[in-house]
Structure 1
Amino acid sequence: MKRLLPYLLLLLLPACATTPPGNVDNACSIFREKDGWYDDALAAQKAWGSPVPVMLAIMHQESRFVAQAKPPRTRILGIIPGFRPSNSYGYSQAIKSTWKAYERSTGHYGADRDDFGDSMDFIGWYNNESLHRSGIAKNDAYRLYLAYHEGHGGYNRGSYRDKGWLLRVATKVRDRAAQYTVQLNGCADSLPRGRGLFGWF
């Protein structure tokens, strides 16, 4: 049994590594708890110009930082599990076709939707697309989320206008991005690679 113990621990490590942060409402807590996440977030910000708090707020809304998140199944007769409404998956809740477009566009073939760094890079890329395809500023968390949810074609057609529930969600994303901004401005100096970084917006 003693000989097997190291191997059992190795098997358990991936499960531990994919658990969501303990406090998803505090950006400082998230980055202090999760090794490497801050580096990944800064890399995505550098690559695409999308502020870390904006990308983080979108991820919070989409998956609450659950690596293998999937949309809930529909219910038949209220009790029988049915199909999932889409194939969205992972931290970013990207659908397969959009993820494939991201891989083709960036050359990041083999990127995984249940990898935090890859998902942050995807959100940064998508926000960059929103600037070029829909004219949305990279710090406009409200409109970026609407485009993220509706797709650029839907956003450009104004498909969100009659969806009061979606407008309320976008407001929550905007407010959370502002909250994360305040938090990170207060703790960036104590985070790995955070020294000297300022002005998220």
Structure 2
Amino acid sequence: MSIKHIFIIFTLFSLVSCSTLPPKNPENICSIFEQNTDWYFAAKKAKDKWGVPIHVPMSMMYQESSFKHDAIPPMDYFLGFIPIGRVSSAYGYSQAKTMTWNDYMRETGNNGADRDDFDDAMDFMGWFIYKSQKLNKTSKWDAYNQYLNYHEGWGGFKRKSYYKKKWLMAVSRKVEKRAKRYSAQLKKCEASFTQGWWSRLFSS
């Protein structure tokens, strides 16, 4: 094995070890997956398992955490200055709440899943989107209504609680627009990720 190939392998493992870093260009899904190629395979795995198009959970995750593995909600304050804890138990890439995350682990058998692990977070979102279709007949391709399900919960979506939250509907439109942009971008670059990565490394 040549020094060049050893260097390439070393670089590859260095990039994987840094995969918790937020994407430098989160507005472009091709750039996201070029920076963290293992994220593409995690998203593809969720697509194959749950039938969820990659651009939908990715656009939702960007909205929830900006792809920060340790994202947490803001602190809540009593009287405006006394900290009394976080506004919710949401955490990680998907901003999943503790109770919902526990439901996911119990239903899927993915015990030990971590909210700050991209693979687990993506599988969680695939599961949630899949269940939104089952419970509320929301298409897996409908990023707008899938995000409303995600934010309000299946019961809240069914009760149409979002009608009282114009700000949330506006955010859901942003997620929808981002999903459409991600979808168009991915069509132009996905073939480069579906090729054997090992053969790409040593093709030169």
TM norm structure 2: 0.85
Gaps of 5+ in 2: 1-13, 198-204
Q: Could you report, residue by residue, the CA deviation over 1:17-37 in whole angstroms, capped at 9, with x for unpaired residues?
A: 421111111100000101311
1:34 matched to 2:43:
no
In the TM superposition, 1:38-57 aligns within 5 A as: 38-57=40-59
Gaps of 5+ in 1: 1-11, 196-201
Aligned-residue sequence identity (percent) comes to 48
1:103 matched to 2:95:
no
- SS of residue matched to 1:161: helix
Deviation for aligned residue 1:13: 9.1
Q: 2:23 aligns with which of 21, 24, 34?
A: 21
Q: Could you report, residue by residue, the CA deviation over 1:38-87 in whole angstroms, capped at 9, with x for unpaired residues?
A: 11000000000110000100100100000000001123444444321111
Q: Does 164-173 or 76-85 show the bigger shift?
A: 76-85
CA contact (8 A) 1:127 1:138 kept: yes
> Counterpart of 1:126?
128
Q: 1:73 aligns with which of 63, 72, 75?
A: 75
> Counterpart of 1:173?
175
Q: 2:87 aligns with which of 82, 85, 88?
A: 85
CA contact (8 A) 1:130 1:147 kept: yes
Between the two proteins, the alignment pairs up a number of residues equal to 184
CA contact (8 A) 1:74 1:82 kept: yes
> Counterpart of 1:153?
155
Deviation for aligned residue 1:194: 8.7
Q: Could you report, residue by residue, the CA deviation over 1:161-180 in whole angstroms, capped at 9, with x for unpaired residues?
A: 11000000100000000000
TM norm structure 1: 0.86
CA contact (8 A) 1:154 1:160 kept: yes
Provide the rounded CA distance (Å) in 1 between the counterparts of 2:33 and 2:167: 30
Provide the rounded CA distance (Å) in 2 between the counterparts of 1:48 and 1:172: 24
Provide the rounded CA distance (Å) in 2 between the counterparts of 1:16 and 1:168: 33
- SS of residue matched to 2:86: coil
CA contact (8 A) 1:39 1:193 kept: no
- SS of residue matched to 2:70: coil
Amino acid aligned to 2:66: R
- Please report the RMSD computed on the Cα atoms of aligned residues, expressed in angstroms: 2.1
Amino acid aligned to 2:56: V
Instruction: Answer 1 or 2: which has greater helix percent.
Output: 2
Q: Could you report, residue by residue, the CA deviation over 1:110-130 in whole angstroms, capped at 9, with x for unpaired residues?
A: 111001111111001000100
Amino acid aligned to 1:174: E
